[in-house]
């Protein structure tokens, strides 16, 4: 594919999308958003890929939506240009997505990172929702996802008073899974992704779906969603192989069937 605002790369069973608008701190313009989700969906369909990574540069994961593109928009344009539908495409990705975040993850950049399944942060990563400073509020899920991840009070501070979280704070509050040195942060994320890509693919997919259900529904409905994903795995070759391998004290050989 000929992308203009992202780069794509495959390392082993890991598909990597790199946001690539260095002149604008990787701010999301319409083209970059479309390309990002097109690339993620293509990797999601690719049988040779097990896990997806989205990253930016050392300096900026993404500094939010492109303010220059958005500044003159009318409410009608904001709605009809399909922006909401575009951002929602992340919810359709079945494979695990890891955000490898270094530098600024602001506004839509922070919202995108927390829409992924896990975050590997470099020591320089900074997470924030500065929309209030330009007269708006988060529009890509920030108020909802941050509140679920961090609780009400810290989310209020971030959204209302532009509190930025350092990488160490993000780790402390459970936003980041790991904080690693800036040098080689992407390599660390790839190694982490490879570990996940080597696991039973169907179980991994069902696990992601079940955990996500916890953010969408009540406990009772979430427990039902978990059961709906648990029992069908007993019809897979991988379940038989995984349990037999345990009994025979050997490594399982996953088929994704």
Please, which residue, 51 or 63, has the CB nearer to ligand DAK?
Answer: 63
In the residue annotation, 65 being an active-site residue is answered as: yes
73 near ligand DAK, rule: CB under 6 A: no
32 binds ligand DAK (CB under 6 A): no
**In 3D, which of 36, 214, 188, 218 has the Cα closest to residue 125?**
188
Helix (H, G, I), strand (E, B) or coil at 114: helix
Our CB check for ligand DAK shows the closer of 107 and 201 to be 107
> Among residues 17, 19, 27, 54, which is the contact residue for ligand DAK, using CB under 6 A?
27
111 tagged catalytic: yes
Q: Per CB under 6 A, which of residues 93..112 are in contact with ligand DAK?
A: 104, 106-108
Query: Does residue 87 bind ligand DAK (CB under 6 A)?
Result: yes
DSSP 91: G
- CA–CA dist 106, 125 (Å, integer): 10
25 near ligand DAK, rule: CB under 6 A: yes
Binding flag, residue 49, ligand DAK (CB under 6 A): no
Q: Under the criterion CB under 6 A, does residue 56 sit at the interface with ligand DAK? A: no
Check binding of 206 to ligand DAK (CB under 6 A): no
Residues that contact ligand DAK, how many (by CB under 6 A): 22
Strands (E), 124-169: 126-128, 165-166
Start-end of H helices in the chain: 30-45, 67-70, 75-80, 83-88, 108-115, 142-150, 152-161, 167-172, 185-197, 201-213, 219-230, 237-247
* Residue 104 burial (10 A CB sphere; 0-12, 13-18, 19+): buried
H helix or E strand, kind and range, residue 225: helix 219-230
- What is the separation, in whole angstroms, between the first and last Cα of the chain? 29
Q: List the one residue from 53, 63, 113, 120 that touches ligand DAK (CB under 6 A).
A: 63
Interacting residue with ligand DAK among 12, 139, 222, 256 (CB under 6 A): 139
Binding residues for ligand DAK (CB under 6 A): 24-25, 27, 63-68, 78, 83-84, 87, 104, 106-108, 130-131, 134, 139-140
| Catalytic site positions | 65, 108, 111, 131
């Amino acid at each position: 594919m000929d992308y203009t605002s992202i780069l794509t790369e495959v390392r082993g069973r890991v598909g990597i999308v790199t946001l690539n608008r260095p002149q604008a701190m990787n701010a999301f313009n319409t083209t970059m958003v479309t390309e990002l989700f097109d690339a993620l969906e293509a990797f999601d369909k690719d049988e040779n890929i097990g896990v997806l990574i989205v990253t930016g540069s050392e300096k900026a994961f993404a500094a939010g939506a492109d303010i220059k593109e958005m500044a003159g928009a009318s409410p009608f344009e904001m709605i009809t240009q399909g922006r909401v539908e575009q951002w929602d495409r992340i919810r359709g990705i079945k494979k695990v997505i890891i955000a490898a975040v270094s530098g600024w993850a602001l506004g839509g950049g922070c919202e995108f990172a927390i829409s992924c399944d896990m975050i590997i942060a470099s020591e320089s990563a900074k997470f924030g929702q500065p929309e209030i400073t330009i007269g708006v509020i988060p529009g890509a899920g920030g108020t909802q996802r941050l509140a679920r991840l961090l609780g009400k009070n810290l989310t209020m501070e971030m959204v209302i008073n532009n509190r930025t979280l350092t990488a160490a704070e993000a780790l402390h509050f459970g936003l980041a899974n790991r904080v690693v040195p800036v040098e080689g942060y992407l390599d660390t994320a790839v190694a982490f992704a490879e570990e996940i890509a080597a696991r039973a693919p169907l179980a991994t997919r069902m696990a992601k779906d079940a955990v996500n259900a916890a953010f969408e529904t009540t406990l009772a409905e979430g427990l039902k969603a978990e059961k709906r994903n648990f029992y069908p795995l007993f019809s897979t070759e991988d379940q038989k192989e995984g349990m037999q391998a345990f009994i025979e004290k050997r490594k399982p050989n996953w088929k994704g069937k």
